[in-house]
Every structure is written in structure tokens, then in C-alpha cells.
């Protein structure tokens, strides 16, 4: 079905018609946009079928790409707005939201003012209610509020991963060094951090071994520095213990830099790069990418899923063949309905447009959620066969997902309370967090802790 013109209010349509290609232009969408969910060449929102909802009332993870026929261009979910690949910004209302965390509190990773672990959700110490984006890092977390301000807390090693201008760890949220008000998206790996602003610029900080910051040098940074090409970006991923990064430009091309021992830059070689280099196929339809330990997984706008890097031992690239790939290779099933993917230590998980969740790679301690501890080198569905997953992530030995009903579920290792079940029992199939809340908006996990945003009812 095509877009229904009546879904737009007159004022909203007038704003759309008058917009230019300027990044500073904004259109306030008063209503959801009905989108074509049938055409297989166009992929749409994760959670609500044929609707592109406002980001403040639906569980749409940042980085999700949606094609809006009425606008004629793809738009990408940011922390506060849909970012049009035509340079326009579309945003909506701002309800109250809180941040809660659980799991290992080492180095202050939970943001609740101490280093005491918690096996159930605990609220961050500032008690703010204007959070709209959350991202958990290795032993730290990042959050963005409605004003576009970036906050971080937890471990601050590798030259200043928190980006606050110091190498000092924090047990509670502290604002980014430059106090900017235009942050949209953040991704952190074990040693460095990447952030995208509303103007599409990409900023990097932290450790820079092997040129992992893409700045054409190996100097660590404790505050954000713009990447060297000054391009316009919409999605970025930091990852790998070898310090590697990858990002997608607004033209749909994918670029990488840093350590390349296992072919992580998808350039058909094993040469390390200290500045961005385009993946070898030069495709222009990439829309989402995520890094695991030493492998990457990415989705194209046609709904296909591709991987590269380290695929030995566990089959974490989902190709059934356990070997490394230094250029993109499609997952075994050749499905065209993938809409989300997350790379873990030696495994990956993904969500299809029908709301089902699939995993592949290592299944140590039940991290794939399939009820058994067998490894899989091709996608296998999680044991509950649920059809309402909206987002999910996987780390070292556990995974967490959020459903369209606002509930959070986890599975895998639980030794530090990472599953929020009130105990330390490991589970090989999804189990709901202790409070059974139905007002969770977003969730993100790292090595041993989880951070989430809850809607204030």
C-alpha cells in the first residue's frame, strides 16, 4: 500500500514541501506516516508493521533505516529524530524517560553513584527524566537527552573513552567535554568511542591503536575529534579488541578503518588502515552495521544480511563455513527481511521484519537463547519463537532484547546479575527482567552490564 496523503496535517505537509537540502531544516511530524510494507525493495520500521512512528513513542533503535515514499528518501532513526538522507531532520514530541541499569558496576558502569553490582534494575543517580538515547559500552555507558547533550559514566581508560577531556572514571553521568547540544548517536567498543551529530558529522575519541579512530595517526584522544574526511554519516560502530571502526555515509556507502588482521575492514586484504577506506564492493545501499569482537555484520536496504572478518571456530558470520572473510559475504539463508543485527564476542543475533529473533555462532552459557548450548554456523530461531521482538543486542556471554509490548528479556550468563532476574542463575532461553515492566523504551548491553530507558507513565 502507498502512503496515505490524509495522514499528514496540512501544516506538516507545507513544511515538507518547503524544506531544502539544508541539514538545519526540521519538519515536525504531528502524526505517524503510513508506509509501504509490501514492496520488497523497501524496508520499513521494525516494531509497528506498516507505520513509521515518532521516535518518542515506539521502540525504534537508533540507526534503523526506513524508506518513506512520500518523502522520496530513506530516513534513519536517531536519538531524537528521524534523520533524512536528503539532509532534512524530522522529529516529534518529548515524553519523560528515565535511565535504569543492572549487572556489574565495576568502574561505575551503572551510573548509580557506586560500584555495587545489581541483579535488578537501579536508576542512575541524577534522576533526570529527559533521556532519549542510551548505549552501554564495555564498562561504561553513554546517554543523550532531548537537548542533544551527551553524558557518559564508568570506565575512562584507553586514553579517555568517555570523551570528557580526562582519563578519570565516573560513577555518575558527566557531560561531554565540549557541552555540545547536537548529538544524535553513539557507539563504543572496548577501546574507543564514535558519535554522530545531527548534522551528520562523525566524531571519535579514546584509544587509537592501529589507527582505530580513523584520524590517520595512532594518537589517543580524550575528547571528540571529527573524523578526517569531514563526510556526512548516519550510522557508526566501534568494536573489536583490535580497535576497529566502521560507518555508513548518507550516500549508503560503508567505510572502515583500524586493525584488519582478520579482514575486518572488508577491503579484501589484511592491511591495517588509519583512515577510512571503502569496503571492496563499493555498494551504495548499506543501512546498518554492527561490530562484534573481530567480525562485522551489516544490513542493506534490500533486507539482506552480510558479514566479514573472523568467522573461524564458531561460525559467527552465519555462512555455515567456519572461515575468515575479508570482503562481505551474505548469510547462508539469503533472507531479504533482516531489519536489525548485533555482533557479540563470537556470536551474532538478528531480527527479521516478521518480529522473529535469530542467532548464530558460539552458544556458550546459552547466549543464543535457543535452549541448548550447541554452536550454530547458520541462523537458528530463539526457542520461544516470539514474533514481537523490536531490538536486541549481544555481548560476550549474554544477550538482551526488547519486545513491542515494552518488556525486556535476557538470556545467557548471569554471574554478575546481567539478566536482571534478581539472581545469578544462567538461562539458555529468554527470561523476563525481575520487575516485569511494560514501559521500557530502549535497551543496550555491554560485556557485563545493561542500560535501558524507561517511559515515565
User: CA 441 to CA 436: how far, in whole Å?
Assistant: 14
Contact (CB, 8 A) for 59 and 53: no
Contact (CB, 8 A) for 98 and 456: yes
Predicted confidence band of residue 85 (pLDDT cuts 50, 70, 90)? low
What does the pLDDT look like over 166-183, one tens digit per residue? 888 999 999 987 778 888
Sheet holding 192-197, edge to edge: 183-188, 192-197, 202-206, 221-226
Tell whether the model's pLDDT for residue 13 goes beyond 70.
no
Percent of residues, the chain, with pLDDT higher than 90: 59
* CB atoms near residue 451 (< 10 Å): 30
Grid cell in block for residue 210? 592501529
What does the pLDDT look like over 190-221, one tens digit per residue? 889 999 988 889 999 999 988 999 999 999 99
Give start and end residues of each alpha helix (H) in 404-447: none
Grid cell in block for residue 303? 533486507
Report the SS3 class of residue 161: coil
75-111: b (≥16 Cβ within 10 Å) or e: bbbbbbbbbbbbbbbbbbeebebbbbbbbbbbbbbbb
- Supply the pLDDT for residue 91: 52
User: CA 81 to CA 55: how far, in whole Å?
Assistant: 6
- Supply the pLDDT for residue 186: 92
Grid cell in block for residue 203? 566524531
* 230 dihedral zone (left: phi>0; alpha: psi -120 to 50; beta): left
What does the pLDDT look like over 245-300, one tens digit per residue? 999 998 889 999 999 999 999 999 999 999 999 999 999 999 889 999 899 999 99
The DSSP line for 377-408 is EEEEE-TT--S-EEEEEE-SSEEEEEETTS-E
The torsion angle over the Cα atoms of residues 423, 101, 399 and 52, rounded to 10 degrees, is 140
User: CA 295 to CA 120: how far, in whole Å?
Assistant: 31
Contact (CB, 8 A) for 115 and 107: yes
Could you tell me which residue, 89 or 317, shows the higher pLDDT? 317
- Supply the pLDDT for residue 90: 57
Extract the runs of DSSP E, i.e. beta strands, from 220-332.
221-226, 233-239, 244-249, 254-258, 273-278, 286-291, 295-300, 305-309, 325-330
User: Helix, strand, coil proportions of the chain in percent (round to 5)?
Assistant: 5, 40, 55
Domains of the chain: which residue ranges? 5-91, 146-446
Pairing of strands 89-91, 26-28: parallel
* CB atoms near residue 285 (< 10 Å): 17
* CB atoms near residue 64 (< 10 Å): 26
Name 239's bridge partners.
Answer: 244
Could you tell me which residue, 43 or 182, shows the higher pLDDT? 182
Grid cell in block for residue 167? 582519563
Could you tell me which residue, 19 or 228, shows the higher pLDDT? 228
Could you tell me which residue, 400 or 132, shows the higher pLDDT? 400
User: CA 183 to CA 181: how far, in whole Å?
Assistant: 6
CATH code linked to domain 146-446: 2.130.10.30
Element holding 12 (H helix, E strand): helix 10-18
CA 60 to chain centre: 10
If you search the block for the grid coordinates 553490582, which residue do you land on? Answer: 117
- Supply the pLDDT for residue 55: 54
In total, the chain counts a number of residues equal to: 457
Nearest of 278, 240, 236 to residue 260 by alpha carbon: 240
User: CA 370 to CA 374: how far, in whole Å?
Assistant: 9
What does the pLDDT look like over 50-75, one tens digit per residue? 334 455 545 566 666 665 555 556 67
Contact (CB, 8 A) for 193 and 209: no
Report the SS3 class of residue 287: strand
Amino acid at each position: 500500500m502507498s502512503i496515505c496523503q490524509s495522514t499528514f496535517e496540512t501544516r506538516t505537509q507545507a513544511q515538507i514541501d518547503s524544506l531544502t537540502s539544508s541539514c538545519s531544516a526540521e519538519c515536525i511530524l504531528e502524526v505517524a506516516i503510513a508506509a509501504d510494507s509490501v514492496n520488497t525493495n523497501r524496508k520499513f520500521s521494525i516494531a509497528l508493521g506498516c507505520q513509521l512512528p515518532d521516535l518518542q513513542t515506539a521502540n525504534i533503535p537508533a540507526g534503523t533505516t526506513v524508506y518513506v515514499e512520500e518523502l522520496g528518501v530513506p530516513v534513519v532513526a536517531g536519538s531524537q529524530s528521524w534523520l533524512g538522507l536528503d539532509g532534512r531532520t524530522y522529529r516529534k514530541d518529548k515524553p519523560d524517560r528515565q535511565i535504569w541499569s543492572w549487572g556489574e558496576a565495576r568502574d561505575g558502569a551503572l551510573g548509580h553513584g557506586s560500584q555495587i553490582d545489581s541483579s535488578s534494575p537501579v536508576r542512575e543517580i541524577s534522576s533526570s527524566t529527559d533521556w532519549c538515547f542510551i548505549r552501554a559500552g564495555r564498562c561504561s555507558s553513554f546517554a543523550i537527552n532531548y537537548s542533544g547533550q551527551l553524558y557518559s559514566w564508568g570506565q575512562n581508560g584507553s586514553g579517555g573513552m568517555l570523551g570528557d577531556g580526562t582519563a578519570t572514571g565516573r560513577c555518575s553521568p558527566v557531560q561531554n567535554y565540549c557541552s555540545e547540544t547536537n548529538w544524535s548517536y553513539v557507539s563504543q567498543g572496548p577501546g574507543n568511542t564514535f558519535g554522530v551529530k545531527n548534522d551528520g558529522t562523525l566524531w571519535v575519541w579514546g584509544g587509537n591503536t592501529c589507527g582505530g579512530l580513523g584520524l590517520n595517526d595512532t594518537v589517543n584522544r580524550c575528547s571528540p575529534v571529527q573524523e578526517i574526511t569531514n563526510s556526512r554519516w548516519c550510522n557508526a560502530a566501534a568494536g573489536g579488541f583490535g580497535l576497529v571502526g566502521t560507518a555508513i555515509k548518507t550516500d549508503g556507502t560503508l567505510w572502515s578503518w583500524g586493525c584488519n588482521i582478520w579482514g575486518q575492514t572488508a577491503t579484501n586484504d589484511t592491511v591495517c588502515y588509519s583512515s577510512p577506506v571503502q569496503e571492496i564492493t563499493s555498494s551504495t545501499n548499506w543501512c546498518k552495521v554492527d561490530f562484534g569482537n573481530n567480525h562485522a555484520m551489516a544490513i542493506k536496504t534490500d533486507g539482506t544480511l552480510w558479514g566479514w572478518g573472523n568467522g573461524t571456530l564458531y561460525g559467527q558470520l552465519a555462512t555455515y563455513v567456519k572461515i575468515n572473510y575479508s570482503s562481505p559475504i551474505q548469510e547462508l539463508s539469503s533472507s531479504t527481511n533482516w531489519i536489525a543485527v548485533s555482533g557479540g564476542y563470537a556470536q551474532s543475533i538478528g531480527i527479521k521484519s516478521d518480529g522473529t529473533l535469530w542467532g548464530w555462532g558460539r552458544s556458550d552459557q546459552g547466549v543464543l537463547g535457543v535452549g541448548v548450548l550447541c554452536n550454530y554456523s547458520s541462523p537458528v530461531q530463539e526457542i520461544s519463537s516470539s514474533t514481537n521482538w523490536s531490538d536486541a543486542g549481544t555481548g560476550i556471554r549474554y544477550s538482551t532484547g526488547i519486545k513491542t509490548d515494552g518488556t525486556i528479556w535476557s538470556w545467557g550468563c548471569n554471574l554478575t546479575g546481567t539478566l536482571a532476574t534478581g539472581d545469578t542463575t544462567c538461562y539458555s532461553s529468554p527470561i523476563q527482567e525481575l520487575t516485569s515492566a511494560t514501559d521500557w523504551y530502549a535497551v543496550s548491553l555491554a560485556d557485563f552490564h545493561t542500560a535501558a530507558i524507561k517511559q515515565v507513565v
